[in-house]
Every structure is written in structure tokens, then in C-alpha cells.
Amino acid sequence: MLFKQVVGQEDIKQRLVRMVKENRVSHSLLFTGPEGNGKLAMALAFAQYLNCLNPGDTDSCGVCSSCKKYAKLVHPDLHFVFPVIKSSSSSAPVSDTFITEWRTLVNQSPYFDLPTWLSQIRKEGDNKQGAIFTAESSEIIRKLSLKTFEGKYKMMIVWMPEKMNESTANKLLKILEEPSQSTVFILVSNKPDDMIGTILSRTQQLKIPALPQADIEAYLMDKFGISQQQAQGAAKVANGNLIYGQQQVEMSEENEFFFDRFITMMRHSYARKVSDLLKWVEEMSRHPRERQRNFLNYAINMIRENYIMNFKQDDIVYLTPKQLEWSKKFSPFINDKNAMTIAEDFSLADSHIGQNGNSKVILFDLGLKLIISIKEGN
């Protein structure tokens, strides 16, 4: 990661560059500040700069052998520690167990939160909590005992050190108390107060502020190709948290997808086109189970909103302008005779899919029931 790939935070970048130039790099750094400010991205850019063979005035060269390996997160002197989960195959999981998944996610974008990371390594339906387990500390010691392969420094980036249990933290403390000249620890923490005070006092803290709205807005426009107006809305809600801003945009994109599928399903059912409905079912059943369930819950909400529209109570209808326009025509088809039945059928399908039933059978069955319900109501 280059500094120029890190969103905003120009002051912090300059401070870090100066630290390297003036040879004042602490061997244990702590990057903090509110979630979504780019701490992890900054740690990666800093680690790369520190090890770049030909660093410029403001950034790494990006082309030396060290930079190339850093860009792919495969430099042999770059190590990561992050929360992981216990699985059936390993009773003492360490970060390296999940390094492939970690590199994939960080390479996509280093702006993500803990739930997003855990969703990459958990099985569906699992809600195990992430932690940095005790086995990790012996792994850190082992890595530190290796000699530096090719870089200037061995880098140890610890993401979410607050997820360490006490015995791991105490072992880490011992390591930080006897710093090795060739190693730099960067702890990247949302909640440094959750860490033991003795670790905090061993580190040099760098507080990174929340991102200004304009930076988030520009980033969202560039990343998602959305209009300035859309980006502005999401950036405002994001309140300085880039990760949250991204989620706002993704959520509205997901809503567009659901809305499209909902309209198609209703059209086919109303027109009693069973073969088109079957095609719809086949396409929908190829999506991940979680997404199918999210769709069904979206649909239940749409049914409810459309039913309410019949009462002309506009103030209690929560729809986007586009959905509202479509619903004005559709809502009369959802009425006293069928609204409850349809909502119950969708809810039942959701719970059956949740119990690992065959999605294709469940969704097709739901479509057939819908054909009957729509007819009954009109």
C-alpha cells in the first residue's frame, strides 16, 4: 500500500514520513482513533515506506523488490496478528491459519470492520466471536527469533490488539519490554482503553482523526461510480467512518437488487407465468442462502408497506421515491384478503431456508402460493 492510496489524512502521512527520515521510529507504535479512519491502511503504507529500498520524499517508490512484495502482502518480513476463531480442525488457531483469507480481504480494501473479517472465516450461520488466542504469543516469539529475511525491519502488524485475552497480552508485554532493534510492532486499535495499561505505556501512540465528510464523499464516488448526490448522502450518515459510508452504498445497491427481483416475482405471479417464475426461482436459488433470506425479509417489508399504502397513510410508508412510484400501482393487489397470507408464506419460506431446506423447492412453492394469493385478493 502506498501513502497515496490511503484516503486523506495528509498530516499523519507527513508525520510518519518525518519519523522515518529523522530516524525516530519507535519499535512499538499504536495507531488509534475512531473506526473507519484508515488506521490499517496507514499501518500498511507506513510498513512499506519503512522498508522501501528507494523511498521518495512523500511515498514509497512502489517498484522496488520490497514494495512489490508489500503490495501483495507477501513480504517474508511482514507479519500479521488479528482475531481468529476456533474451528473443529484446530484447537489453538493462530493468525497464519487464516492468512490466505486475510490477504484476500486486505488486498480488496483495507477498510473493513471486525464483523466483515469474521464473516470471511466463519461458516454460514456460525456466530463465533473472534479473539487473539494464547497460542499466538508463541507464534510471535517464533517469528521474532527468525532473522530478517530481506527487509530492513521485521514488521509485526497487530490488528485489534484489544481482542487479546489477558495471558496473551501479558506475553506480548514481555516481548515489547525487550524490543529488538530490527522489529517494529504496529498495534492498530479501535479501543486502546480495552488493552492492559502496561502495554499502552510501552507504545508510542499516534491518534488518527476521523475522516472529513468531503474525503469520504470523493472516495465513494470514485469507488462505486455513484453520483455526487448519492455519495453526499452516504458520507453524511457515515459521520467520519469510511467503512460505514461504504456499507451505506452497498446496502442501497443491495436494496436495488431486491427491489428488481421483487417486482419480477410479483409480475410473473400476477400474470400466472409459471415457466418464467421457475426461471426466476432458478436464478434466485443460486445466490447464497443468507442473501435469499435477506431478499425474503425485504419482500415481507414491501408487502407490509404496500398494504399500508391502501390506507393512504403516506406518513407511515418508508419507501424510496422509485419504490413508491411502483407501489402506487401495485398496492391495490395487496389487501385485506391476502396480505396476511402472503406475508406468512414469505416468512415460512425464510425459516425453511434457514433450516437448510432446498431453496429451489421452497422458492417455487412460495411462487405457486403467491399466484393463488394474488388471484384471491383481486
Within 10 angstroms of residue 249's Cβ, the number of other Cβ atoms is: 20
For cell 512499506, what's the residue?
Answer: 48
Q: Give one DSSP letter per residue of 54-74, joined into a string.
A: S--SSS--S-SHHHHHHHTT-
Of 123, 50, 120, the residue nearest 82 (C-alpha): 120
Give the nearest distance from C-beta 161 to Zn ion in angstroms: 28
250 vs 37: CA distance, rounded Å: 19
Cβ-based nearer residue to Zn ion, 60 or 292? 60
Give the nearest distance from C-beta 76 to Zn ion in angstroms: 16
Cβ-based nearer residue to Zn ion, 43 or 199? 43
φ/ψ (deg, to 5) at 322: -70, -40
Torsion of CA 130, 133, 136, 138, to 10 degrees: 180
Using CB under 5 A as the binding rule, whether residue 60 contacts Zn ion is answered as yes
Non-local CB neighbours of 328 within 8 Å, separated by 6+ positions: 309
320 vs 196: CA distance, rounded Å: 47
Give the nearest distance from C-beta 150 to Zn ion in angstroms: 12
Give the nearest distance from C-beta 283 to Zn ion in angstroms: 46
Give the nearest distance from C-beta 6 to Zn ion in angstroms: 16
Using CB under 5 A as the binding rule, whether residue 51 contacts Zn ion is answered as no
Cβ-based nearer residue to Zn ion, 70 or 111? 70
Q: Give one DSSP letter per residue of 323-363, joined into a string.
A: HHHHHHHHGGGS-TTTHHHHHHHHHHHHHHHHTT--HHHHH
The count of chain residues that interact with Zn ion, using the rule CB under 5 A, is: 5
Kindly provide the residue ranges of all beta strands, DSSP E only, lying in the chain, ordered along the sequence.
Answer: 28-32, 78-81, 154-159, 183-188, 204-207
Cβ-based nearer residue to Zn ion, 1 or 231? 1
Give the nearest distance from C-beta 2 to Zn ion in angstroms: 9
Using CB under 5 A as the binding rule, whether residue 327 contacts Zn ion is answered as no
Contact region with Zn ion (CB under 5 A), list: 62-70, 188-196, 210-218, 266-274:
62-70
Cβ-based nearer residue to Zn ion, 71 or 343? 71
Judged by CB under 5 A, the residue of 61, 131, 135, 218 near Zn ion is 61
Give the nearest distance from C-beta 55 to Zn ion in angstroms: 6
Cβ-based nearer residue to Zn ion, 54 or 320? 54
Residues 63-92 that bind Zn ion (CB under 5 A): 64, 67
Contact region with Zn ion (CB under 5 A), list: 50-58, 258-266, 287-295, 339-347:
50-58
Give the nearest distance from C-beta 102 to Zn ion in angstroms: 23
54 vs 362: CA distance, rounded Å: 60
φ/ψ (deg, to 5) at 187: -90, 130
Cβ-based nearer residue to Zn ion, 65 or 100? 65
| 207 and 32 Cβ atoms separated by less than 8 Å | yes
Tell me the per-residue interface mask from 99 to 138 with Zn ion, x by CB under 5 A, - otherwise: ----------------------------------------
φ/ψ (deg, to 5) at 30: -130, 115
Judged by CB under 5 A, the residue of 2, 19, 52, 266 near Zn ion is 52
Distance of CA 216 to the CA centre of its chain: 16
Give the nearest distance from C-beta 17 to Zn ion in angstroms: 14
Contact set with Zn ion (CB under 5 A): 52, 60-61, 64, 67
